[in-house]
Amino acid sequence: MKVCGKSLGFLARAAGALVLFVTAFVACRGNPQAESQVSKLAPADTESAAADSTRVASLDAKSAPLSYPAAVRGTHVDRYHGESVDDPYRWLEELDAPPTRAWIDAQNRLAQPYLERAPSHAWFKKRLTQLWNYERYGVPVKEGGRYFWLRNDGLQNQSVLYVADSLAATPRPLIDPNQLSKDATISMSDFEVSPDGRLVAYSLSDGGTDWDSWHVRDVVTGKDLPDVLRYTKFTGVSWERDSKGFYYSRYPELGAAGSGKGDDSKQVSIYRHRIGEPQSSDRQIYAVTDHPTRNPYGVLTEDGRFLIIDLFDSYAVNGVYYVEMAASGSATPRVVRLLDEWKAQYTFLGNRGAELFFLTTDDAPRGRVIAIDTANPARERWREVVPQAEDVLGTAHYIGGSFVLSYLHDAHAQVKVVDAAGRPRPDLSLPGLGKVEGFTGSQDDPETFFSYTDYLTPAAIYRYDVATQKLDVFRRPRVEADTSVYVTEQVFYRSKDGTRVPMFITRRKDFVKNGSAPVLLYGYGGFNSAQIPAFSASVLAWLEAGGVYAVANLRGGSEYGEDWHEAGTRLKKQNVFDDFIAAAEYLIAERYTSKQRIAALGRSNGGLLVGAVITQRPDLFAAALPAVGVLDMLRYHTASANARQWSSDYGLSENADEYRALRAYSPYHNVKPGACYPPTLVTTADHDDRVVPWHSFKFAAALQAAQGCANPVLIRIETRAGHGAGKPVWMQIEDIANQWAFLTQHLQMTPAGTMRAATSQ
């Protein structure tokens, strides 16, 4: 998902999160759950059948059904807890097999002409290009007196890392991924600056894969050192205080030595790399030997005293160990199991001598900050620095001897500051109801930076001095569009069980509730991920075309703390779908829209959401966009060790109760022959190694075979992309133009006049 983020929090990427939004464009061993299998895979003539069936009967949604590429229905059957479950498209899990590749090619030959011939496609592509063309910045990082930040001039496919010797100095480009490939599909997925500001460790991903390689660049010369590290994904690096090496986590090599591939069916281990030495010389610092699925990630404290080890194994709880570096010597380090009860989440924030600070849900489902003295770590000796509040404490940062606390109040950000003793200092004032990110910095330096954004405000970067409370704008981008004609309102509605759920609705100020507006309803609902207002050029294009954009804050996220998250997981996952269905019904009942003009959108775990709601309520939506979704819930965990860790939200089909819950809503397994499903465009990428694309392949094949009316079911498969991270701008624009053009065809939209007006701006 980035399903998936780190529960400890100091490396959100470490678990390979399923979290990707339309506003952003920022694992197992076999099949252990099946009791027995009867396997008769698709016959060998599938390749020719798929290749021959590419005819498009019509581009008119009201005409006869499309002629879909042939997908032979196999006879594979699995047994789960005494029940037989058909899996007729199991053969599509063989991603590189000739029949699958032929099916992919045939589906793209059907879908792309359909999408490009939509009357609005050319306009969306042009307008998206115009709206995307604005300067964007990342949150600066300060190390060794230098400042580092990402910048995109507007239409650069990949953002460039800049460095400046001071805030007054002229910044210069340091790492430009756009120069690394002709199609701009090599991206920089992460970077970490050494404490002396002289070196930058950075990781590269090729073609959208989560696998990356780490490199080291000299800041002064702009040249790379010989160091190259492989077998990594979802890991950052943590520099030693002398800047001569760093700690990182890596998978074992797959197969024979020299294969160059990592084995993500196994666990990672923490290694120490010394600059200038080959990876083969890296020393293993820690590996989990007493549990089959826990993965360790390490971060060194700023004073170099402790190596904090986060053990990730779910999105609800984690463990924390540490190594005291001065006592570790050159022998095998002594690992102290500080937090090993696996009953809550703990995010390491920093230390003051022997005292370690954590943001935790321990006895606080909405979060609190505690201090643990390593000399007296017993629970009764813990010191509460910031108690739990009514609002959710989403993130905390220890900067300049104070804690900067970002709370969620009804799914939008509020920022408070307290000193190390927990005494309040003046709150930080924000421009509106939006989202903040950043607050990078040092516990000894009061200078920090953060970004603020909302649905109508591009992310602006601010400099904040924690000691003086001085707040300055560092960079503020401008979009060539008039956003003043729009407004975001927050409403609250009741779900099926009476739960009060918030929703943001962005629309024109002169909007009239008469049931005629085309509404795009977005949701996610999982993995403790809150859906907070953030700007998106793609959403602005949708608004300009006459649409309304709604985001429902479903259970499963973190909007109201761990209780809200848990209420949308495992045996309670149906609550998420009920919340989304209730959001659509509210929008219809309140006359924002009608069943003929509302569409459902979701990505990743949100793709599961859309797949579930259209199979449960095919009558409710006029169009559906499930993107890179988790759609086969009985086998999702077989793809990788990372995918298996999603079980903290989903459960596992190996367990009888969880199997029954999964079987009840699994989109692939609940497609009913002869039902009339809404016009649906499934999107995925054949290089997606987070949510493997066979989820989308199997679901699309099942929908196409079952469709009982003329509504089209299309699948568009990108062949040089992954789950979404690092996707070049040109590819993002093409992807959104396809999706929005599809919607305008099926929501009875006639936005030509609006489009002409917007183009003339």
Other residues' Cβ atoms within 10 Å of the Cβ of residue 688: 24
Give the amino acid at 43.
P
Measure the CA dihedral 120/123/126/127, to 10°: -100
Identify the three-state secondary structure at position 378. coil
* 61 contacts 710 by C-beta, under 8 angstroms: yes
Helix 729-746 and helix 537-544, axial crossing angle in degrees, nearest 10:
30
Distances from the Cα of 27 to the Cαs of 527, 557, 709, in angstroms?
Answer: 16, 22, 37
Q: H helices of 261-349, where?
A: 325-328
CA distance 10 to 75: 46
**Alpha helix segments (H runs only) across 425-513:** none
Report yes or no: 147 and 166 within 8 Å, Cβ to Cβ: yes
Q: Which amino acid, residue 14?
A: A
Query: How far is CA 83 from each of CA 131, 419, 659, 671, rounded to the nearest angstrom?
Result: 52, 58, 10, 18
CB 464 within 8 A of CB 153: no
Residues in the chain: 761
248-273 burial: b if 16+ Cβ within 10 Å, else e: bbbbebeeeeeeeebbbbbbbbbbbb
Decide: 644 and 662 in contact? Cβ < 8 Å: no
Phi-psi bin for 691: left (phi > 0), alpha (psi -120 to 50), beta? beta
What is the identity of the amino acid at 552?
A: A
DSSP for 94-111, please give it: -TTSHHHHHHHHHHHHHH
Active site residue 516: no
**Residue tagged 């205080």 (tokens):** 241
Closest CA to 526 of 726, 397, 691: 691
Torsion angle of alpha carbons 459, 465, 469, 471, nearest 10°? -30
Do residues 250 and 229 make contact, with C-beta atoms less than 8 angstroms apart?
A: yes
Residue linked to tokens 């010369």? 221
| Beta-carbon contacts of residue 170 (< 8 Å; ≥ 6 apart) | 164
CB atoms within 10 A of CB 20: 27
**Catalytic position from the list 538, 604, 647, 653:** 604
What is the identity of the amino acid at 303?
D
Contact yes or no for 223/242 (Cβ under 8 A): no
Q: Is 412 a catalytic residue?
A: no
Write the burial class of residue 101 (CB in 10 Å: 0-12 exposed, 13-18 middle, 19+ buried). Answer: middle
CA–CA distance, 314 with 343 (Å, rounded to integer):
11
Q: How many Å apart are CA 441 and CA 251, to the nearest integer?
A: 30
Strand 295-300 relative to strand 283-286: parallel, antiparallel, unpaired?
A: unpaired
Q: Give the active site residues.
A: 604, 723
